[in-house]
Structure 1
């Protein structure tokens, strides 16, 4: 009898432990969660495979041509486990010495970043970083179709991957106007890429940038792309975009039936400097969290600017313990880590 009781206790313990493993796996693995856009309570939002709302919170790299050292397993593990992020964004600049000049090197970094994200149970945004010039149709960006075709072929319909087709269309240089005609130029660029991805069986979430450095998802809502799994970018910097106008643009987009995704924002001014503006940032995050809008902070870098989450002398590899200490984080970094973790 005594041996039987011991056996039963052991069996129950194993069963409970196994059940816990299953629950933990299901709650942390992006493939289990899935991503789709559905309408709930009159607004488009991200949902999981059960149709429940899901919010992504995470961090963006700075330009991979400058800060490639962030692409390491210890860093991605730290974001996943210590920061409780569920998404990272790979900012692959096209200009500024990026993909247009070094396509093989930039693609290699993106592929390494994708693999590390998958290994650490993170969604990963593959960001085609349109910046200067501001028109995604400009000859600088002529490699877009081939790049997305190659990545989607390497990772066919992979549930971890999100495609961001145009970071920040703008009036800068040979850019686009901040009006509906500007949006039409972004739309005409994006639609063939989306068609290619869908025709080849890739159902991944897609984010499309909007005019005026991705501050105008309201324009996209006027003439949205005919694709059920496309969201529109809203970008803000708390010290600059705090007069309510950009937030109003986001609200109008939601009210007019499109999904939005805050794929880049910072605690500083748009220059990356001054601040951190904590009160203004929390006003934005309260809005995004209330509406279950996913968000990505800029940036996982040790650059000498306020928006960087690391101090200038901090290594972008946290080491084998896979944790950056409080002393290694900037003032923005301490704040961002707490907000990603939901400590507020």
Structure 2
């Protein structure tokens, strides 16, 4: 029984924390072991970072690394790149996340290696063999087969893909041992060419549109040649307007720190290079930022189509022009740190 009067050293029982911690209240506010260091405050950073992702890293991890490197509040990527693959992974920070669909709809370029003689259940080197052959194709046979896969073609995606079936990812169903039947989809492949060839392996350059699976291409090419095949190496060299010359790697980002990384930040509107732009007045910009349409005047003003609007060189909105009126669909607030338009 506590018969002593309450004091700072002897607080009333009602004020004592569970566990009998008798430290004064101001001491109990600090965690044991001393105060924790303040975490860097997240910043409003907007722009595109063109990451050269290494083999073994997931796209989700890559986004987290870039977000931390810039101390950014918001980040996302424009098109998943498998852990097996390396190369261009555009990462949007802040307001640039609003332009992700424009990049994902852009053309992509790849360099990939097909190893002959084995088809796997994942259509790449991480899978289990499901068919084998002793046959190996000649270079001329590979080159003769490639035109069959150029143009608008139907392609059955790999069973281990992110496509949803009744709300479930195909790769989750496949890993659980379920039989996954995916429907063929129309994809666009613009270019295929042989870069290197040996009896065991062929390196191919490809340019294609959204939704094309290089793994499926290697699988189908191996079946056509009667020797089977799978992707054993894959590198993405371009996504929309972003190419290898624009890229940086994780090591450089982690070494530079948030302020030192700003030169790697490309303007938000870089993602919009495929559509025209129009300069508008401040009053028009204010209307667009409130979600209101504006009339575009002048001899050269567009009357139809998708455009983006700038005011004083700063991106304001993306929208559609209908009978000379710009209707905004995406409005931007670039008041924080943002990559500037580069000459």
Shorter-chain TM-score: which interval?
under 0.3
More strand by share: 2
Normalising to structure 2: TM-score of the pair?
0.24
Larger radius of gyration: 2
Normalising to structure 1: TM-score of the pair?
0.24
More helix by share: 1
| Higher RCO structure, 1 or 2 (CA under 8 Å, sep 6+) | 2
